[in-house]
């Protein structure tokens, strides 16, 4: 109804305008700019609802219900701008107020049953529903999404996967109803990504059958613990377990840190991490444990246990295997970050592209109308490849979610690799997309009410939490190297991780590339497979070179190659290999989704989007650096990208409308930004 009202108002205003003066001078002032709803001039060549079903993949009704639930409450800060209602956090509030309103919003959602069954029900349906819900919550506010992720995925997930039946019976229902407010105390001042090195120490007192948790030094203080500063009542504490003088490695314990009235428990000290560049609705805290005692049953014992008389028990004798089994289920954090960050890219691009379809700048000839921003090829080149990248990430996120919800113990390694690759790549892409959208919106992109600039700060943290992106990408290369070595050692074919292409003849890129060839899915897949194959071979050769000199694999990984004939360094090849694997995996998910569609206008447009994504992957500097493309072919790729952007321009509005993000969760510059900034809007 809002859209219908807007269209009627615009047409009425247009018809009531006075006729232009017949008198013309050589120099005249321009007529005042009038906003025109882009839907009045931009035509849809395909069904946007059908496209949304394809790219959202699941639980559209749940998403829409949650959007509506937030849109109905004044807790979500509704405000009228340009005749439309928008909801978003007030980022200008003091930090303490942002935290309190975040908790109130979460309580509002709890009261309305938004989280029913999240921990007490099992199965693929409930897990996919959780992912869909997080994508919606994060679109409104990253602080709210993060607090919920800590409570359900980290605290609740740890109880589920590390605990056993008596933990589930005691903690899960109270967590689901928010009687217990959980946090996840893993990171320390001195250790983040290196979980095995945490310095918190826990011993066992067989006389009282209690564990004693202690912070032995300042670098062992738990740091950046979401929820700890103000609200959390309980924590999952990751600590070295020392039994009878023998360190058994890192284990997880449940410790109460506040009572029901919010007072700190005995021997627990908590300090605030302070104001951050974003995410100030999350009360990050620092925790010290001064010989805090917890019952023996508070050890989460799915992997290992301690008997009443103090004997360490585990069916996994090897410490490395035990640690791997312990951390394997924690991939849900990275999966949720990867999948939810795509929604912010969607929202940022929707705002920037809608603005570029209504904002004009400069005339090509005197007395002609100024040109729409998105009609400039430079604007198309800035935004439309990012739109293609966001579509590609959407299909890859579906693949990751399906992989996770169908997980088995045998698939944990595969999930770890894909979740690490996608989490790093999607969050990096998101920051790049938001920065480009901010710049594309000019000065309006700086205003917090227009979101894109503020979101940059809010989502910056994603590049380092749940794993530093650079370290995650190094893990990808190491995992691929392990697959390579194992396949060569067994003299068997590659299987899994999409590496089956390594068993086929090496693709050959033609010396001259036509437009048809450049756009074809087969050429693009061949080019991506060629790069991945070559880099994996190079990386294996580099590591082997140093190991032959007596160096360990880890030492070889970090070596520069000043003493070898290679012009590339091991870690640089590793970085390029990680990107090559990820680009190929994302492209493969996109191409497979496209292949499932019957011939239609939707498939035609989606094929153009896929072509554009494949081309920007092949445009990567590594294709020239390692000689996969000639200079002439690289120039042909760049030229083709410009052509495809021009062909996609008429479909830009339909492609962002297909994201299905309600108007209220966008921003004023996505709609009538003239009315939103009028003097009358200030008076109201």
What CATH code is carried by the domain that includes residue 627?
1.20.140.10
Give the model confidence (pLDDT) of 104-125 as tens digits: 999 999 999 999 999 999 999 9
Asked, for residue 671, whether it belongs to a domain, the answer is no
Q: Is residue 644 part of a domain?
A: yes
- For 168-213, give the secondary structure using H, E and C: HHHHHHHHHCCCCCEEEECCECCCCCCHHHCCCEEEEECCCCEEEE
SS3 667: coil
Check residue 286 and give its pLDDT. Answer: 98
All residues at 6 or more sequence positions from 274 whose CB lies less than 8 Å from its CB, including other chains:
none
Buried b (16+ CB within 10 A) or exposed e, 34-61: ebbbbbeebebebebeebbebbbbbbee
Q: How many CB atoms lie within 10 A of CB 18?
A: 5
Q: How confident is the model over 276-304, as a mean pLDDT?
A: 97
Question: What tens digit of pLDDT does each residue of 509-559 get?
Answer: 998 899 999 999 999 999 999 999 999 999 999 888 888 888 777 777 776
Rounded to whole angstroms, how far apart are CA atoms 195 and 144?
26
How far from chain centre, in Å, is Cα 326? 24
**Active-site entry in 466, 532, 542, 640:** 466
pLDDT mean over 389-407: 97
Under DSSP, the state recorded for 450 is: G
The yes-or-no verdict on residue 568 having pLDDT over 60 is no
Q: Which residues of 119-143 are buried (b: 16+ CB within 10 A; e: fewer)?
A: beeeeeeebbbbbbbbbbbbbbbbb
pLDDT in the model for residue 19: 42
Query: In terms of pTM, does the model score above 0.85?
Result: yes
Residue 322 pLDDT greater than 90, yes or no = no
Residue 527's pLDDT is what? 98
Number of independent structural domains in the chain: 2
Instruction: State the Cα angle at 262 between 258 and 268, rounded to 5°.
Output: 30
625-679 pLDDT, tens digit each: 999 999 999 999 999 999 999 999 999 999 999 999 999 999 999 999 999 999 9
Within 8 A by CB and 6+ apart from 179, the residues are: none
Q: How far apart are CA 298 and CA 499, in angstroms?
A: 42
Confidence of residue 1 (pLDDT cuts 50, 70, 90): very low
More confident residue, 439 or 27: 439
Q: Looking at the domain assignment, is residue 310 inside a domain?
A: yes
442 is in an annotated binding site: no
Q: Does the residue 522 lie in any domain?
A: yes
Q: Residue 241 forms beta bridges with which residues?
A: 202
Q: In this model, does residue 361 exceed pLDDT 80? A: yes
Asked if residues 66 and 114 have their Cβ atoms less than 8 Å apart, the reply is yes
Q: Is 624 exposed, middle or buried (0-12, 13-18, 19+ CB in 10 A)?
A: middle
Identify the domain boundary among 301, 317, 333: 317
554 is catalytic: no
Paired strand residues for 293: 212
What is the band of 18 on the pLDDT scale with cuts at 50, 70, 90? very low
pLDDT, tens only, 174-200: 999 999 999 999 999 999 889 999 999
- For residue 562, give its domain range: 470-493+512-649
Mean pLDDT of 403-421: 93
- What lies within 8 Å, CB to CB, of 624 at 6+ separation is 631, 634
SS3 state of residue 147: helix
* Residues in Cβ contact with 94 at an 8 Å cutoff, skipping those fewer than 6 apart: none
For the stretch 538-544, contacts whose Cβ atoms lie closer than 8 Å and that sit 24 or more positions apart, written own/partner, are 538/566, 538/568, 538/573, 538/626, 539/477, 539/480, 539/481, 539/570, 539/573, 539/574, 539/577, 540/481, 540/484, 540/485, 542/566, 542/568, 542/570, 542/573, 543/481, 543/570
pLDDT at 323 over 90: no
Residue 590 in any domain: the answer is yes
DSSP annotation of 54: H
Longest dimension (CA), the chain: 101
Q: Say which residue, 19 or 57, is predicted with more confidence.
A: 57
On whether residue 352 sits in a domain, the answer given is: no
Phi, psi of 113 (to 5 degrees): 75, 25
Residue 630 lies in a domain: yes
- pLDDT tens-digit readout, 144-180: 999 999 999 999 999 999 999 999 999 999 999 999 9
Question: What do you get for the CA distance between the two ends of the chain, in Å?
Answer: 22
Q: How confident is the model at residue 277 (pLDDT cuts 50, 70, 90)?
A: very high
In a domain, 217, yes or no: yes
Burial pattern 219-240, b for ≥16 Cβ within 10 A else e, equals ebbbbbbbbbbbbbbbbbbbbb
| Cβ contact 203:285 at 8 Å | no
Average pLDDT, the chain: 92
Cβ within 8 Å of residue 361, ≥6 positions away: 370, 371, 373
Of 258, 284, 317, at which residue does a domain stop?
317
**Residue percentage of the chain with pLDDT more than 90:** 82
* Distance from the Cα of residue 320 to its chain's centroid: 29
Query: Which of 273, 300, 317 finishes a domain?
Result: 317
Q: Which residues contact 506 (CB under 8 A, 6 or more apart)?
A: 530, 533
| Predicted confidence (pLDDT) at residue 212 exceeds the cutoff of 60 | yes
Q: What CATH number is attached to the domain comprising 295? A: 2.40.110.10
Residue 616 to residue 459: CA distance in whole angstroms: 24
User: Is the pLDDT assigned to residue 487 strictly greater than 90?
Assistant: yes
Reported as a pLDDT band with limits 50, 70 and 90, residue 327 is confident
Above 90 in pLDDT, residue 684?
A: no
Question: What does DSSP say about strands 210-214 and 292-295: parallel, antiparallel, or unpaired?
Answer: antiparallel
Q: How many degrees, rounded to 5, is the angle at CA 14 between CA 12 and CA 16?
A: 70
């Amino acid at each position: 109804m809002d859209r219908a009202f807007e269209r009627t108002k615009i047409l009425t205003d247009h018809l009531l305008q006075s006729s232009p003066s017949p008198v013309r001078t050589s120099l005249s002032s321009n007529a005042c700019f009038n906003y025109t709803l882009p839907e009045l001039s931009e035509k849809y060549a395909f069904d946007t609802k059908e496209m949304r079903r394809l790219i959202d993949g699941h639980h559209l009704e749940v998403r829409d219900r949650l959007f509506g639930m937030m849109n109905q409450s004044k807790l979500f800060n509704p405000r009228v701008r340009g005749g439309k209602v928008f909801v978003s956090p007030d980022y200008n509030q003091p930090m303490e107020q942002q935290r309190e309103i975040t908790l109130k919003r979460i309580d509002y959602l709890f009261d309305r049953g938004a989280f029913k069954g999240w921990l007490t029900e099992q199965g693929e349906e409930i897990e996919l529903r959780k992912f869909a819900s997080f994508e919606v919550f994060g679109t409104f506010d990253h602080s709210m999404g993060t607090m919920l992720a800590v409570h359900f995925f980290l605290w609740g997930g740890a109880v589920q996967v590390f605990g056993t039946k008596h933990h589930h019976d005691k903690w899960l229902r109270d967590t689901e109803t928010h009687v217990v407010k959980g946090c996840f105390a893993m990171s320390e001042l001195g250790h983040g990504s290196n979980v095995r090195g945490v310095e918190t120490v826990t011993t066992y007192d067989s006389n009282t059958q209690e564990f004693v948790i202690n912070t032995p030094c300042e670098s062992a203080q738990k740091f950046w613990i979401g929820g700890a500063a103000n609200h959390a009542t309980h924590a999952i504490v990751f600590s070295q377990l020392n039994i009878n003088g023998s360190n058994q490695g890192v284990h997880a314990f449940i410790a109460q840190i506040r009572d029901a009235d919010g007072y700190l428990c005995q021997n627990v000290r908590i300090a605030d991490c302070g104001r951050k560049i974003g995410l100030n609705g999350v009360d990050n805290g620092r925790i010290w444990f001064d010989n805090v005692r917890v019952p023996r049953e508070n050890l989460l014992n799915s992997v290992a246990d301690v008997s009443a008389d103090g004997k360490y028990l585990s069916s996994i004798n090897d410490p490395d295997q035990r640690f791997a089994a312990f951390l394997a289920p924690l991939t849900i954090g990275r999966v949720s970050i990867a999948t939810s960050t795509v929604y912010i890219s969607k929202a940022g691009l929707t705002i920037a592209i809608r603005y570029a379809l209504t904002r004009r700048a400069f005339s090509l000839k005197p007395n002609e109308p100024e040109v729409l921003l998105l009609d400039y090829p430079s604007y198309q080149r800035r935004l439309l490849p990012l739109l293609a990248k966001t579509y590609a990430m959407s299909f890859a996120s579906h693949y990751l979610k399906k992989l996770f919800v169908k997980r088995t113990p045998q698939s944990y390694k595969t999930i770890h690799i894909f979740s690490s690759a996608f989490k790093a790549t999607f969050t990096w892409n998101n920051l790049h997309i938001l920065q480009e959208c901010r710049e594309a919106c000019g000065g309006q992109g700086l205003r917090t009410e227009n979101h894109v600039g503020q979101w940059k700060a809010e989502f910056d943290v994603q590049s380092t939490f749940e794993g530093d992106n650079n370290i995650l990408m190094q893990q990808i290369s190491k995992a691929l190297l392990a697959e390579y070595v194992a396949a060569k050692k067994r003299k068997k074919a590659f299987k899994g991780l999409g590496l089956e292409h390594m068993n086929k003849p090496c693709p050959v890129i033609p010396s001259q590339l036509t437009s048809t060839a450049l756009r074809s899915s087969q050429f693009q897949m061949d080019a991506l497979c060629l790069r991945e194959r070559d880099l994996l071979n190079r990386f294996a050769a580099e590591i082997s070179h140093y190991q032959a000199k007596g160096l360990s694999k880890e030492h070889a990984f970090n070596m520069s190659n000043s003493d070898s004939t290679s012009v590339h360094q091991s870690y640089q090849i590793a970085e390029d290999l990680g990107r090559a694997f990820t680009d190929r995996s994302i492209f493969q998910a996109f191409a497979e989704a496209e292949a499932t569609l019957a011939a239609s206008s939707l498939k035609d447009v989606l094929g153009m989007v896929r072509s554009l994504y494949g081309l920007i992957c092949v445009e990567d500097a590594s294709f020239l650096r390692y000689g996969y493309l000639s200079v002439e072919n690289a120039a042909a790729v760049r030229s083709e990208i410009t052509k495809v952007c021009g062909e996609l321009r008429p479909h830009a509005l339909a492609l962002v409308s297909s994201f299905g993000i309600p108007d209220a969760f966008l921003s004023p510059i996505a709609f009538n930004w003239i009315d939103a900034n009028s003097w009358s809007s200030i008076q109201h």
